[in-house]
Structure 1
């Protein structure tokens, strides 16, 4: 049967769907030089510490000098390697990002960059798009779209620079996801985008944030220039970025764990066979083939916190989103009022600083 020349699925260069139950070795990151924007805290810091301990050379890029420098000192001490560096970087500033990449090239042990993680991002900051201020004036003041500046313009700057330097890495080989065998590929060309569950479905009253996270569909350009591109889509994760007010709104549901996000990112970073894929990270649940919650040990069930979000990309992404949200709703129903009460108590204790 002849291929349909208009079928977009045929145009996207992807590796097969990711089996998140298949083991991988975090040590496959050894020797890779990796830039992480927004690397001083949160997921970025989690990636940096894990990858440094497994032999990678990590550049932590952030606007927070105090946290960034302290993190790098900790990484050097724990890993025994001096090939970890902090570089001040404002991702919304083009020259700041150019300087970051040039510094990484200069200080990289092998003179190249193997991977870039576009992790820097903020929640809705500035003007609310659908709530202009000053309705009694002749025209509204110019809105502040800082979230767009950081989460879209900043990510596009990072991507543009990554696509300039990554193809120059290790010109003696030209890896392809269809040709790589099991195990590590020492040198790499990898762009990892940090999206969100908002990359899959809209979040009410978070217009800037949702818009910016959908922009990370850049991963579909994977291997156009010999660069593999992947994406993480975390759900609400139990970190300090979720303030007490947010925890009250989420009460009764369930949040994901930071270690599961780090594990998912490490799989994508370590396994060079994976290209053009996206992994969603949520609360750990046990489900059957019909995406229904079941007891652990049930025949045919699987327990997971990391999901292959685009198993049938461009064909069933809406079906995945429906199943994923359905599981989250089932978790909330299963926890019931007791779970809601526990979460309310934790949120109150979190607000007064008695729970972290």
Structure 2
């Protein structure tokens, strides 16, 4: 399906819900999405106070940065991480610095369902109001050796013979997929549990684009990467996992606000100098443009604090001036901008296409009725009968 370019395609300018003759069909009013994020407006830091926020992978890097900042803003923050020593020390230090007693560390292995289930249960119990307002699915790794081994496999055509095997050959070993276990499957565990707990957050209301601030929230923030929107040489497993996160976001942003009143957003940072980048990554990117941890924090805080932002994704890159932005066809919201809304025209159009295909299927099914069901079953049974007879 060919989609018009967001930069050239006119929109529904008069707001009547009809296409303006360019083939771009407005998404309609059956979904709950906010408009493109206005990055020039102030961040609602005050709305973080007394919110209970859960962060996976919160003991270091980006997770730890968010923890420190939001704790200072008066949020109740519970972090989980596989590194218990670092997590415990971080919480103790931030408690002392902020005087905020509603900060906690819980051991967490995101690759373990039992560990995640226990983590969420304890987090809700530790919350002053007995619920969770926001879940940041952040835990991730970037294993350079694992990705390199995947790209350069051994010659499996020449197995080492082993007399212990019945067929006389030793089967090749499966590749290590820890990157997928943590970055995709672990995140899916987190998202699944988040949907359950957020939907039942006491005293919370279903998300609404007209409500930028409220005492309680229902917010799932997925942490992807620029590698979720484009290929990443030398990191095929990492890119595959982050593309999976984008796919999850594109689906949940459609259904979750309607079914559970939960707003779902995503961030896609460019390379940032955090431990996940590693020494080699830092050397490769030396002298080039990189995103800063402060820019990532600002983008994430905006999404967490503004409850009117629903179904949006932000890319965080190097700060750029108006001239550079103009050259590549971008429009600045603010001077020296580093954060950009992933203008979701393509999301909206492809989502609408999918809904129409399903709608056509439903209409055909309705028109055929029970007679169509009976006919299909009879045809299947008949073909099976004749195949059994050898025809």
Shorter-chain TM-score tier: 0.7 to 0.9
Q: 1:282 to 1:187 in 2, by over 3 A?
A: same
Q: Separation in 1 of the partners of 2:139 and 2:186?
A: 8
Aligned residues: 309
2:106–2:119 CA contact under 8 A, matched in 1 = yes
Structure 1 residue corresponding to 2:341, chosen from 308, 311, 315: 308
Q: Identify unmatched segments of 5+ residues in structure 1.
A: 294-298, 318-356
Structure 2 residue corresponding to 1:206, chosen from 231, 235, 238: 235
1:156 aligns with 188
**What is the aligned-residue RMSD (CA, Å)?**
2.7
Q: 1:106 to 1:172 in 2, by over 3 A?
A: closer
Q: 1:169 to 1:3 in 2, by over 3 A?
A: farther
Q: Deviations over 1:86-125 (max 9, x none)?
A: 0000000000000000001111100001110000001136
Shift of 1:74: 1.5
TM-score, structure 2 length as denominator? 0.73
| Secondary structure of the corresponding residue to residue 247 of structure 1 | helix
Q: Deviations over 1:252-306 (max 9, x none)?
A: 321111111111111111111111111111111102496328xxxxx99832011
Q: Does 1:119 align with 2:138?
A: yes
1:134–1:140 CA contact under 8 A, matched in 2 = no
Matches within 5 A, 1:29-178: 29-124=48-143, 126=146, 128-135=149-156, 136-137=158-159, 139-171=171-203, 173-177=205-209
Q: Separation in 2 of the partners of 1:262 and 1:24?
A: 11
1:332 aligns with none
| Secondary structure of the corresponding residue to residue 90 of structure 1 | coil
2:279 aligns with 244
Q: 1:251 to 1:316 in 2, by over 3 A?
A: farther
TM-score, structure 1 length as denominator? 0.80
Q: Separation in 2 of the partners of 1:3 and 1:54?
A: 44
Q: 1:172 to 1:234 in 2, by over 3 A?
A: closer
Structure 1 residue corresponding to 2:244, chosen from 200, 215, 234: 215
Q: 1:243 to 1:2 in 2, by over 3 A?
A: closer
Matches within 5 A, 1:252-263: 252-263=287-298
2:25–2:349 CA contact under 8 A, matched in 1 = no
2:268–2:313 CA contact under 8 A, matched in 1 = yes
| Secondary structure of the corresponding residue to residue 27 of structure 1 | helix
Shift of 1:13: 3.0
2:362 aligns with none
Whichever of the two has the greater Rg, that structure is 2
2:268 aligns with 233
Q: 1:47 to 1:105 in 2, by over 3 A?
A: same
Q: 1:311 to 1:104 in 2, by over 3 A?
A: same
Q: 1:248 to 1:313 in 2, by over 3 A?
A: same
1:38–1:62 CA contact under 8 A, matched in 2 = yes
Q: Separation in 1 of the partners of 2:334 and 2:261?
A: 38
Q: 1:129 to 1:75 in 2, by over 3 A?
A: same
1:9–1:314 CA contact under 8 A, matched in 2 = no
Q: Separation in 1 of the partners of 2:17 and 2:296?
A: 41
